[in-house]
Structure 1
Amino acid sequence: MVDFVRRIVSGNKARFKDTNLNLELDLVYLTPRVIIMGYPADGLESFYRNNRADAKRFLESRHGKNFWVFNFCPIRENSYDAAFFEGRVSRYPFPDHHAPPLAFMPLVAREIANWLDGAPERVAVLHCKAGKGRSGTMACTYLLSLERPPKPKAQHIAEATEWAQIHAEDMLQSVEHVEDASTSASIPPDTAATATPSSDITANSDDAVKAILELHTSKRMKPAGANEKPKQGVSIPSQRRWLHYWALLLAHAAPVDLWAEPPIPAQRRPKIRLTKVTVRIREAGSFRMRFLRAASALIDRTGRGKTGSIEAGGKMMWISLARYDDAFVGLAERWERHTRDLGGNMGQLRADAAKLDGESLRDIFDDRGQWDKEKMVRSFARMGVLGEDSVQKTVDEDGKLWTYSLSPLTDNGWVNIRAALEKTNDGSQTDDLEVDVPASEANSIHDVTQSAQGRGIVLDATREVRVKIYMGQIFIGWAWLVPAFHMDQPCPTNNTTPPPATKFTLTRKQMDFPIGLGSALVDVEIEMEWVRPSEGARVQPPQRKEQSLEPDDVGFAAKLEAVAEGGVGGAAEAKQAADD
């Protein structure tokens, strides 16, 4: 039974066997000095993940005291005392399946580089839960920051050959743009060039990211069989999108106001207004609808909430917007500025950056879990369907297509959505007002709809935001993005005319977890415009710490759909998602 569970958890990931120590671990050498492994567990979990004692025994046998562990798991997900590895642990926690706060990328890259530069024998050991998505994202973050691919040690002949095949010496200098539709960068071609001063820089960055991701996949994943679809190492589109942002930062081609020095006061930071989101989705077939109704009924019976009609063409589609805690991100950005190399190398730690206000970089996210004992993502606003013209049905050669135009909800608009969500599947009204919306969307910030004034939702252009789409209580998919990377640059001043609204489209493959009903998704178009400083608009809404937090993981309903709907394309993607 243990072997069966281990095989399920390992999935398509490569493993490492050490015959001298009689060990088999969920671990790979991405390079001779960068190790990625699954979570070092104890207790029952150690039977199907890495046994913590075995992981330590392996690392000490191979590398003595010359290893440093980088842990990306929040305490609420998995935790252990750093003393187990004699204090050689740094934590940068962010939720499973999510993109990190953007400022984590330079902080992690700089600390890894600083550690490895200390001695040629040193190695960096990165792990999250499965040792795939989050660890892979951060390992790729470090590798992208290198001016040249690292040269393998002489004894690693096989690795040296493979490395040379994947990385030409001029990889980072190449300007040939290779597009891969199946693993898109998630910066749509029609907006990528406008996000940077030079399309050559964008193309060069795209190639660098593509090469590093291919390296990670080649090391972390088992080769696909004859009839199998190759599995990606970093498979979540938002995490891949973050790597492209990072590549532009390294090339000094990111939006000019991002992490400006000296820092721009919060009230003067560039802002955008999110005005509309358009979702196009195919009509769900009767087979899928039966399973979705069954999923909704089970949700009702298990007390996880109530759901209204999910028939295509109804007005049950709505969107939740969320972001990381403001203070949490503010701290990370403060450390980013403090540790930034004065010479402009974004991946290099500044020499005099050991302490800030008496703390070291390795102390800010220590085992106290100030930021990650609870859920880390806060919902703050909603968008919904308003008016009869907001839902359109068309028919083309592929069948029926529904187009939903979603706008910021007013108070009355949200009341109407709530009223519909309070109905059970047979249309009767429930008295259980405690569960009138999905539990995953409990308010954690003051509701922006009270001050949206019908013009849109004002956001910090340089901060990450998550757009999460629902049909009733059924999760369709989400995407993380940093708006400034997708806007015409530079942002307008009071003396310049704002450019037209920006529209960019994310296809289904560029959305995270479009499973179940989400497998019918065609694309999502996001419309934003710059806010002129003279408008005096404030980011909406201010966060309030006393409110509850939104769950970070893929929702129960989405997982239920995917399992129930294995015959229509959801289960395989859900399994891969579970491995990230």
Structure 2
Amino acid sequence: MTDYIRRIVSGNKARFRDGELALELDLVYLTDRVIIMGYPAEGLESFYRNNREDAKKFLEHRHGKNFWVFNFCPLRENSYSASFFDGRVSRYPFPDHHAPPLAIMPLAAREMADWLDGSPERVVVLHCKAGKGRSGTLACTYLLSCEEPPRPPVLQRSHSASQWAKIRANDVMQAIEHEEDAALPLETVTESPAPESSDAPPRSFTESLKGVLDLHTAQRMKPPGGNEKPKQGVSIPSQRRWLHYWALLLAHEAPVHLWAAPPSPASHVVRPKVRLTHITLRMREAGALKLNLVRAATALIDRTSLGKSGSVQARAAGGGHVWVSLARYDDEFVGLLEKWEAHTRDEGSRMGRRRKGSDQMDGQALRDVFDDKGKWDDTKMVRSFARLGTTGDGALTKTVTEEGKLLTYTLHPLTESGWVHIRNELQETEGNADAGALEVDVPASEVNSMDDVTQSAKARGVVLDAGREVRVKIYMGQVFMCWIWLIPTFHMPQPPPPAGATPPSPTKITLTRKECDFPLGVGSAIVDVEIEMDWLRTSDGEGVQPPAWQTSEESAKGGRDEPAGIAATVEAVTTGNISGVIEARQAAKD
């Protein structure tokens, strides 16, 4: 029985043959025990992704029952029953192109390690949709948690026939060279460097992170000809930022209040808070063409079924100019993940290892959290909870530099009074006296009650849980420009100030355009985004994380796409940015 994999010239497709059987799969071995593949699809989708039946045949032929599949796709995106792989499937879903809830990283890494520890023959198979961003992020999450630095695959089963032939040929050539060196006089032989001392300091987390990212890029993103430099495997800045956070946690260099010890009873947990006061956006003045595209896209939206709601949304968020939406994952969902993280955490110092006997909690298994019923991922997983806009004098300034005109937008939280004022203006402009109708008609993807923004006497900002994720999504009018995921505490001076102490000066987090996710179309003019936050004293007594607002079952399930998706798609097409079309459409969904 013959058995080999041959790399197809057109991309990361591997052809597997067994007698008369021929299969094509988008599948690579990162290491001998970690496999990444594209989504196992059926029907029409299987023509441009992996065929589900073929994926199963390949895995069973190569590994028998010694494989376990990790699926990172939400049900609302794509799904299949775990029974297809005989129940050997675990799901840790989060939206495409997004950073995951932080607790998913240790949970997935621990289960991978637990499975692989069962036998040296076992492998894990990771997939999302394309098998790159999400799969790469979680593969690197696991590899970072390994005690030994990961290395490329060395076993024959992990290579195609042509790859294995090249490896064997190289081995033969090296053996010949060693024999030739041995025949030379001793003084002509170059002395090999002395082996590293066993007392050498361990690699830093930054070296480990670079190593696993480079390994993933080298294995997953190999160019067809092998001569070009591969593109980054995990390329989305926020996903790379999450891996940096995880590396800090593994190295015990993360903020001490974050998962530092087994949690106290919920009633005694003190979660530090920060206050986001304002966001400053600097961007080069867009050319007339791009501005006309923005206007055209907005006009197109206004003529669609989403037009009225989109118009209300954009004007309410800063007069149709630049504005920001703040969002986070569903609170109950994250709370459950964090509870499981604490329950499964190793009692020692190994953050990436599962505590023995912790696969059950309150009579439920961890893998049952994400069953086929889709309680958490059959709806929108990311919820909007506050907005910032350009309000008042000085919100927009223009300066002239050597590179041209620079626009600086200063965005502050929109307060209840600001919302009422804008709403009244809309009533006069639209001739609509029904204020309630305007509130309800906000698109489901950005639903938000302006009352949810934390209110204080001076309306000083939005209060956030320092250890929770937040997405900063920036728009111009109704056109999506970019988003940024971050966890505030990793960027704040440590430790948080104790009760009664005076907090340090505000912290300014500056991210360049390259550190933002998908700066498409007019977003390509962004220079940087500066987010200013300060620690909140416990004595301030302000609420934390205003709740996301849902008005109906349709809203909870995601309802309609927000207008920004249409606008960004129009702009991407007009500018010839075809890849931007895909990202723009996805940007509208979550």
Q: TM-score, normalised by structure 2?
A: 0.82
SS at match of 2:30: strand
Unaligned runs of 5+ in 2: 1-7, 169-194
Q: Deviations over 1:221-270 (max 9, x none)?
A: 24288998853211111111000000000001111111243425477211
Task: Report 1:278-297 matches (<5 A).
Answer: 278-297=280-299
Q: Deviations over 1:314-360 (max 9, x none)?
A: 76211111111111111111111111111110111111212110112
Q: 1:331 to 1:227 in 2, by over 3 A?
A: same
* Structure 1 residue aligned with 2:568: 561
User: Would you say the 8 A contact 2:329–2:381 is kept in 1?
Assistant: yes
Q: Distance in 1 between matches of 2:427 and 2:355?
A: 55
1:575 positional shift: 5.0
Q: 1:84 to 1:528 in 2, by over 3 A?
A: same
Q: 1:54 to 1:249 in 2, by over 3 A?
A: same
Q: 1:509 to 1:416 in 2, by over 3 A?
A: farther
1:551 positional shift: 5.0
Q: Distance in 1 between matches of 2:128 and 2:560?
A: 14
> Number of aligned pairs?
532
Letter in 1 for 2:77: E
Task: Determine whether 1:14 maps to 2:12.
Answer: yes
Letter in 2 for 1:302: T
The root-mean-square deviation of aligned C-alpha atoms, in Å, is: 3.5
SS at match of 1:505: strand
Q: Distance in 1 between matches of 2:549 and 2:586?
A: 33
Q: Distance in 1 between matches of 2:57 and 2:586?
A: 25
SS at match of 1:364: helix
SS at match of 2:394: helix
1:416 positional shift: 4.9
1:538 positional shift: 2.1
* Structure 1 residue aligned with 2:209: 209
Task: Report 1:385-404 matches (<5 A).
Answer: 385-404=390-409
User: Would you say the 8 A contact 1:69–1:88 is kept in 2?
Assistant: yes
Runs of 4+ in 1 over 6 A off after TM superposition: 159-162, 224-229, 419-423, 576-580
Letter in 1 for 2:483: W
User: Would you say the 8 A contact 1:504–1:525 is kept in 2?
Assistant: yes
* Structure 2 residue aligned with 1:301: 303
Letter in 1 for 2:295: R
Task: Determine whether 1:28 maps to 2:33.
Answer: no
Q: Distance in 2 between matches of 1:422 and 1:219?
A: 58
* Structure 1 residue aligned with 2:179: none
1:494 positional shift: 2.0
Q: 1:227 to 1:81 in 2, by over 3 A?
A: closer
1:496 positional shift: 3.3
SS at match of 2:280: strand
Unaligned runs of 5+ in 1: 1-9, 163-168, 176-199
User: Would you say the 8 A contact 1:468–1:478 is kept in 2?
Assistant: yes
SS at match of 1:241: helix
Q: Distance in 2 between matches of 1:414 and 1:12?
A: 53
1:36 positional shift: 0.9
Higher mean C-alpha deviation, range 477-486 or range 434-443: 434-443
Q: Distance in 2 between matches of 1:208 and 1:81?
A: 36
User: Would you say the 8 A contact 1:411–1:449 is kept in 2?
Assistant: no
The structure 1 residue matched to 2:339, chosen from 334, 343, 348, is 334
Q: Distance in 1 between matches of 2:518 and 2:427?
A: 26
SS at match of 1:498: coil
The structure 1 residue matched to 2:411, chosen from 392, 395, 406, is 406
Higher mean C-alpha deviation, range 58-67 or range 361-370: 361-370
Letter in 1 for 2:452: D
User: Would you say the 8 A contact 2:38–2:127 is kept in 1?
Assistant: yes
* Structure 2 residue aligned with 1:179: none
Q: Distance in 2 between matches of 1:226 and 1:553?
A: 43
Task: Determine whether 1:538 maps to 2:543.
Answer: yes
Q: Deviations over 1:496-544 (max 9, x none)?
A: 3321111110111111111011111111001010011122222031456
1:385 positional shift: 1.2
Q: Deviations over 1:417-475 (max 9, x none)?
A: 5678899xxxx747594786555312289621555841111111001111111111111
Letter in 2 for 1:325: D
* Structure 2 residue aligned with 1:274: 276
Letter in 1 for 2:486: L
Q: 1:565 to 1:355 in 2, by over 3 A?
A: closer
Q: 1:411 to 1:12 in 2, by over 3 A?
A: farther
Letter in 1 for 2:141: T
Report the structure number with the largest CA radius of gyration: 2
Q: Distance in 2 between matches of 1:161 and 1:576?
A: 38
Task: Determine whether 1:479 maps to 2:477.
Answer: no
1:295 positional shift: 1.6
Q: Deviations over 1:82-120 (max 9, x none)?
A: 111111010111111111000000000000011011011
* Structure 2 residue aligned with 1:512: 517
Letter in 2 for 1:405: T
Using CA pairs under 8 Å that are at least 6 residues apart, name the structure with larger relative contact order, 1 or 2.
Answer: 1
User: Would you say the 8 A contact 1:385–1:404 is kept in 2?
Assistant: yes
Q: 1:65 to 1:229 in 2, by over 3 A?
A: closer
Task: Report 1:190-205 matches (<5 A).
Answer: 204-205=204-205
SS at match of 1:458: strand
Q: Distance in 2 between matches of 1:579 and 1:301?
A: 22
* Structure 1 residue aligned with 2:531: 526
User: Would you say the 8 A contact 1:95–1:553 is kept in 2?
Assistant: no
Task: Determine whether 1:350 maps to 2:383.
Answer: no
1:549 positional shift: 4.1
Q: Distance in 2 between matches of 1:524 and 1:95?
A: 23
SS at match of 1:388: coil
Higher mean C-alpha deviation, range 115-124 or range 24-33: 24-33
Q: 1:477 to 1:551 in 2, by over 3 A?
A: farther
* Structure 2 residue aligned with 1:166: none
Letter in 2 for 1:521: I
SS at match of 1:389: coil
1:19 positional shift: 3.0
User: Would you say the 8 A contact 1:378–1:444 is kept in 2?
Assistant: no
Q: Distance in 2 between matches of 1:333 and 1:12?
A: 42
Q: Distance in 1 between matches of 2:533 and 2:560?
A: 27
User: Would you say the 8 A contact 2:444–2:561 is kept in 1?
Assistant: no
Letter in 1 for 2:357: D
* Structure 2 residue aligned with 1:469: 474
Letter in 1 for 2:412: S
Q: Distance in 2 between matches of 1:371 and 1:566?
A: 34
1:550 positional shift: 8.3
* Structure 1 residue aligned with 2:37: 37
Higher mean C-alpha deviation, range 328-337 or range 490-499: 490-499
1:574 positional shift: 4.8
